[in-house]
Amino acid sequence: MQYLVSVIHDKSNSGTAEEARAIDEFNDRLRAGGHWVFAAGLADPSTSTVIDSRGEEPVFTDGPFIESKEHMAGFWIIDAPDLDVALELMADGSKACNRRLEVRPILVK
Amino acid sequence: MSPIDAHAAITRAHHEEWARVVASLAKRFGDLDIAEEAAAEAFATAVERWPADGVPPNPGAWLTTTANRKAIDRIRRENKRTDKHREALMLTDDAPPEPLGAIDDDRLRLIFTCCHPALAMEARMALTLRLVGGLTVPEIARGFLVQESAIGQRITRAKGKIAAAGIPYRVPSTSDLPARITGVLAVLFLVFNEGYLATGPDTDPVRADLTAEAIRLTRLIRELLPDDGEVAGLLALMLLTEARRPARVSAEGELVPLAEQDRGAWDAALIEEGHRLVRERLDSGAAPGRYQLLAAINAVHTDARDARDTDWSQVVALYDQLVRLDPSPIVALNRAIAVAELDGADVALAIIDRFGDALHGYHAFHATRAELLRRLERREESHAAYDRAIALAGNTAETAYLSRRRDELG
Q: What is the pLDDT of residues B215-235, one digit of tens each?
A: 999 999 998 889 999 999 999
* Chain A residues inside the 8 Å CB shell of B158: none
Mean pLDDT for the stretch of residues B153-170: 93
The winner for highest mean pLDDT among B67-81, B83-97, B142-156, B254-268 is B254-268
CA pair distance B100, A21, nearest whole angstrom: 38
Tell me the whole-structure pTM to 2 decimals. 0.82
Return the pLDDT at A100: 96
Return the pLDDT at B96: 47
* Chain B residues inside the 8 Å CB shell of A83: 116, 118, 165-168
> What number of CA atoms fall less than 13 Å from residue B357's CA on the CB side?
1
CA pair distance B335, B342, nearest whole angstrom: 11
Q: List CB contacts of B95: < 8 A, sequence separation 6 or more.
A: B89
Return the pLDDT at B100: 47
CA distances from residue B324 to B105, B290, B311 in whole angstroms, order as listed: 35, 10, 21
- Band of residue B206 on the pLDDT scale cut at 50, 70, 90: confident
Return the pLDDT at B252: 87
* Chain B residues inside the 8 Å CB shell of A105: 164-166
Summarize pLDDT for B331-353 with one digit per residue, the tens.
999 999 999 999 999 999 999 99
Q: Would the CB atoms of A87 and B164 count as touching at under 8 Å? A: no
Q: Which of A5, A84, A87, A103 is best to mutate for the B interface (most B CBs within 10 A)?
A: A84
Q: Which of B85, B167, B169, B173 is best to mutate for the A interface (most A CBs within 10 A)?
A: B167
* Chain A residues inside the 8 Å CB shell of B118: 83, 87
Structural contact between residues B296 and B278, judged by C-beta atoms closer than 8 angstroms = yes
Of the listed ranges A73-87, B93-107, B110-124, B384-398, the least confidently predicted one is: B93-107
The SS3 call for residue B103 is coil
Of the listed ranges B88-92, B239-243, B250-254, B284-288, the least confidently predicted one is: B88-92
Structural contact between residues A99 and A23, judged by C-beta atoms closer than 8 angstroms = no
Return the pLDDT at B189: 92
Better-predicted residue by pLDDT, B145 or A10: A10
3-state secondary structure chain A: CEEEEEEEECCCCCCCHHHHHHHHHHHHHHHHCCCEEEEEECCCHHHCEEEECCCCCCEEEECCCCCCCCEEEEEEEEECCCHHHHHHHHHHHHHHHCCEEEEEECCCC
Question: What one-character DSSP code corresponds to residue B95?
Answer: P
Return the pLDDT at B5: 86
pLDDT at B92 over 70: no
Return the pLDDT at B344: 95
Chain A nearest-CA distance from B119, in A, is: 12
Tell me phi and psi for residue A34, to 5 degrees.
Answer: 75, 20
Residue of A nearest to B170 (CA): A84
Q: List CB contacts of B396: < 8 A, sequence separation 6 or more.
A: B200, B201, B203, B205, B253
Residues 81-120 of B with CB under 8 A from A: 116, 118
Chain-centre distance for alpha carbon B185:
8
Percent of chain A with pLDDT over 90: 84
Q: Which amino acid is at B186?
A: A
Tell me phi and psi for residue B307, to 5 degrees.
Answer: -55, -35
pLDDT at B95 over 80: no
pLDDT at B102 over 50: no
CA pair distance B194, B214, nearest whole angstrom: 10
**Mean pLDDT rounded to a whole number for chain B:** 89
- Band of residue B140 on the pLDDT scale cut at 50, 70, 90: confident
Return the pLDDT at A70: 93
Give, in degrees to the nearest 5, the angle at Cα B118 between B114 and B124: 35
- Band of residue B173 on the pLDDT scale cut at 50, 70, 90: confident
Q: What is the ipTM of this complex?
A: 0.88
Return the pLDDT at B200: 66
Q: List CB contacts of B341: < 8 A, sequence separation 6 or more.
A: B310, B312, B315
pLDDT at A62 over 70: yes
Q: List CB contacts of B401: < 8 A, sequence separation 6 or more.
A: B254, B255, B256, B257
- Band of residue B59 on the pLDDT scale cut at 50, 70, 90: very high
